[in-house]
Structure 1
Amino acid sequence: MPNRPTAARSMATKVLAASAAAGLVLAVVGSFLSWFRSGSVNRSSYQLVGLIDRFDLTGNPVVLLALRVWIVVPLLAATAIAMLVLGLTRTGAALTVVLAIFVGTAAGFAAVQGGDEGGPIGVTPLGPVTTTIGTLVAVIGALGAVAVSLRPRGHDGQAQQNRGVS
């Protein structure tokens, strides 16, 4: 007969890891939605990164590195999801949290910038808000999965003894 608290902990870890993976999927989907409007053209975050790079709009090496990393966000998210699915919870969660902080910060910054709806250029909220929500879900799921997986085993045994289960 399986140890119920251990099985419950395993199930909770899987559910939380799945929510982290779902959050990453939502964040990546949001990164492909409209982030920027110029005239009647809406652009995704990747098109915006391409424009910044093409027109050499920044000379800051940190920003240039962030732009290079942004291009591989879907690949990094897929890697984190694969780790979570394969049961590498702590490693997958660590990558999820780092990626979500990076992506969520950029998306949150863009979301709060807003834009002049009547102006010729501006930020469109759909992509940044979707991405921000996805990263928040991913971080909560990842941290929850790690917390549940790190819960001391003795705690489960103590709970069994308190309920009179042997």
Structure 2
Amino acid sequence: MVTTVVGTFLPWLRSGSVTRDSYEVLALRGFAGLDGTWGEVIRAVWVGITPVAVVCVVLWSVRLRRFAAFSALVFGTIAGTVGALAAVQGGNEGALVGISLTGPVVTLGGAVLGIAGAITVLTAKTRTAISPGGAP
């Protein structure tokens, strides 16, 4: 979770010697024609990534493991999809404006680890505790 959130603050876009993180790129959504309702939905979902990560950690810490895993699955799917889409567009060296691979790849890596952990928790068999008297 931490790796995914950190990846959102790493460089995602470069223009000459200037780099921008995913939130700065999000502020440019009007230039891409996404300044209407869809632009606001995209902004709300992406800005909500960090709070969802915090919710996952809190759920895990209060021993609601399956809820935390489900939240991590949704979190990883959204962040990983955006990271993967940006990563496959990156690597255009020599262009005036291009995708920087650092942020998308770190975000994607963290999302893949989060999804793998969530699937592991969701598919694990639960164990019942046996009381000292021998009855479950």
TM-score range, shorter chain: 0.7 to 0.9
* Counterparts of 1:40 and 1:28, CA distance in 2: 24
Q: 1:115, 1:121 within 8 Å by CA — same for their partners in 2?
A: no
- Equivalent in 42, 47, 59 of residue 24 of structure 2: 47
Structure with more contact order per residue of length (Cα contacts < 8 Å, sep ≥ 6): 1
Who is 2:55 aligned against?
79
Structure 2 counterpart SS, 1:83: helix
Q: List gaps (5 residues or longer) in structure 2.
A: 129-136
Cα distance in 2 for partners of 1:72, 1:152 equals 31
2:93 counterpart residue number: 117
Residue 99 (structure 1) shift: 1.1
Q: Which amino acid aligns with 1:37?
A: R
Size of the alignment, in residue pairs?
Answer: 129
Q: Larger % of helix: which?
A: 1
**Structure 1 Cα separation of the partners of residues 53 and 111 of structure 2:** 11
Aligned to 1:91: 67
- What percentage of aligned pairs have identical amino acids? 34
Question: Which ranges of structure 1 fall in alignment gaps of 5 or more residues?
Answer: 1-23, 155-166
State which structure, 1 or 2, has the greater radius of gyration over its C-alpha atoms.
1
Q: Where do 4+ consecutive residues of structure 1 move more than 6 Å?
A: none
Q: CA deviation at 1:56?
A: 6.6
- What is the CA RMSD across the aligned residues, in angstroms? 2.0
